[in-house]
Chains A and B, each alone.
Chain A
Amino acid sequence: MTEVGGTDRAPIVQPRVLMVVAERGTSGRIAQAEEELPSWLSDARTHASSDAAPVVSVVHFSATPQVTPQVTTNAAASLPCLRTWELVDRLDRVEVVHVCRPATPAGELAVLAAKVLKKRLVVSDLAVRDSTLGVSVGMLDLADVLICDSALEAELYGRHPGIRVLDGDDPVLELHSIYADLFRTTRVEAGRKDG
């Protein structure tokens, strides 16, 4: 956790969020991702609504069918280029993980890594279903929150208890609020355990 704040007030704790944008496809091609992604995704890391706003990092992740899947860079977005185990390290350093395009081989791996590390999980499928493997075994049920861009999209997910539709004027603020809620829940649980 990153703690900030002055001496005359209670410390403010900022949730740390890693947004993992899974590369599409299984053939190792680097997708032209930028034009396919919603604006809130690229804005999420720069938006600072308050001192307690989440600290959001974004990485791209590719899981081509090879021995060691890789996090690769999206050249257009100049995002960091990481190896898979570096992704695990990065996941380990945040409280909330947001996987975009989970229904891809890379997305499935990212969801799995996040859950093994007991992270709060947000997913946005962005209408991509390159792989049905994870969805077929209930992968989306592992998400705490499932982000949809519209009510129509939300209907696709039936009774998932964590559906949130980004339909307000400021989707980034909504997103940050979701992260903060998850972070708070984590802290409450941790406090209950410690107490």
Chain B
Amino acid sequence: MRILVISNLFPPDIVGGYEMQCSSATEELRKRGHEVMVLTSVPRRRIEASDDHILRLLRTPDVYSPDRYGIRSPFWEFEANLLNVENIYILMDLLDRWRPDVCYLWSLVALGGAAIVSALEHLEMPWVWHLGDAVPADLSHFDGELRELGALFGRTWSGRFLACSQTVVNSVERLVSIAGRTRIVPNWIEMPVANRRDEELGKGEYRIVFSGRLHEEKGIFVLLDAVAELRARGRTDFRLEIVGTGDEAAVRSRIATLGIAEHISLRGWLPRTDLYEVLAASDLFAFPTHMNDPMPLAPLEAAALGCVPLLPRVSGVSEWLVDGVHCLKAERTPEDFATAIEWSMDHPDDLAAIARRGAGVVRESFLPESVMPIVEEELVLAARKARPEMTRIPEVYGIALLADAVLRRHALAIANRDAR
């Protein structure tokens, strides 16, 4: 089967886990004998060597370059979400030349993603959209000014969706209706390798680890406050290692204010192999992420290495693991997290049993061999029903040109209104 993957980013040009999953899916499909082409964006930095099956041609406005926000086009928002006419031209050209059986969509933010999907619809080209984030809603949000747009997309987009959690489906459904044609499949990980030093665990300091972006939404400040709460309860026999980058200044400031520096190690960014060593040497992976987090991979990697995830009761990853069986859960408050950490410190045997079951469930359900057959099945089903009308390519490009002109006129009107 010929599969055209479309993703805004593709490794090594990345900002998060979504494009890493896309890369993994691409490789897995290739391993299964499919012919896969990836259409992605021009990288933000030169990539020395790139594979023949990866075409880095699509244009993006400065959505992922904070330093360039001030110099981006006044039309960036509609180019990012609705339409980039150059990208439609490139896509039409590729479809015409390569004739895929199905398009496999990932994040289309910054590519003018709405027009990409609508163009595929116009050609009756089958597509399956893998949602590791609420992308259809992101494309139609516009600060709530154009709510009808999402309803229109929900009515006119006929493809199927794969979503990594119900959390993602709920986020999308606020604007775009996808229920009834969405299959929930989890994110997956490559099995991490590290030596678990069980004999060291439970001895000396209790080791807690956090890995993720140092930002409020990932819960780093909830966790620091939980550490202070533990101290206030008289617990001193633990250490928290923090891996990741982000708002380091605010994190340092909070640590100083709380007076908990002696319990904290700030490790910064670590290569995967080093991160795995840290996880394998830790008792608990404390991750009080926000309730709409789609499904981060770090808790799965921790569980695979026998480090028990402590998760908020509500979030994407929390849907997949059972409290007290594969992980621990707590309300996303410093007090509740402190209580859960304390329990885990006082019940090493129970924690060890949870760790074993957590590692087991990852091996059973969250590796590529568990998930990819479902993905493959959806792609095959979509391709089987397809009768693309490639003769409509000139018309699609004509519509894109007209839409570009009309949207620019209105974007300019909005910019002028806002300037007043």
Contact = CB atoms under 8 A, between A and B. Distances in A.
Contacts of B409: 65, 105, 133
Interface stretch (A48-56, A112-120, A146-154, A165-173): A112-120
B403 A142 contact: no
Contacts of A136: 405
Interface string B118-151: 1001101000000000000000000001001000
B413 A137 contact: no
Contact of A67 (B156, B399, B402, B413): B413
A51 B224 CA distance: 75
Nearest to A86: B148
A115 B406 CA distance: 13
A142 B406 contact: no
Given A65-B409, A88-B148, A133-B409, A116 B403 contact: yes
Interface in A117-150: 117-118, 133-134, 136-139, 141-142
A157 interface: no
B414 interface: yes
Contact of B406 (A85, A88, A92, A134): A134
Interface residues of B, number: 25
B61 to A, nearest CB: 21
Contacts of A88: 148, 152
A159 B144 CA distance: 44
A92 B122 contact: no
Given A109-B406, A116-B156, A117-B156, A66 B417 contact: yes
Interface in B83-110: none
A114 to B, nearest CB: 10
Contacts, number: 61
Contact of B118 (A65, A67, A116, A134): A116
A111 interface: yes
Interface residues of A, number: 25
Contacts of A142: 395, 398-399, 402
Interface string B349-392: 00000000000000000000000000000000000000100000
Contacts of A92: 155
A139 to B, nearest CB: 5
B413 A115 contact: no
Nearest to A108: B406
Interface in B144-185: 145, 148, 152, 155-156
Given A65-B413, A66-B413, A138 B148 contact: no
Contacts of A69: 410
Q: Which 10 A-B pairs have the closest CB atoms?
A: A137-B401, A85-B148, A65-B413, A133-B405, A115-B399, A139-B402, A138-B398, A142-B398, A112-B402, A108-B406
Given A65-B410, A105-B409, A116-B399, 4 more contacts: A65-B413, A67-B414, A115-B395, A137-B402
Interface of A: 65-67, 69, 85, 88, 92, 105, 108-109, 111-112, 115-118, 133-134, 136-139, 141-142, 193
6 contacts: A116-B156, A134-B402, A134-B405, A134-B406, A138-B398, A142-B395
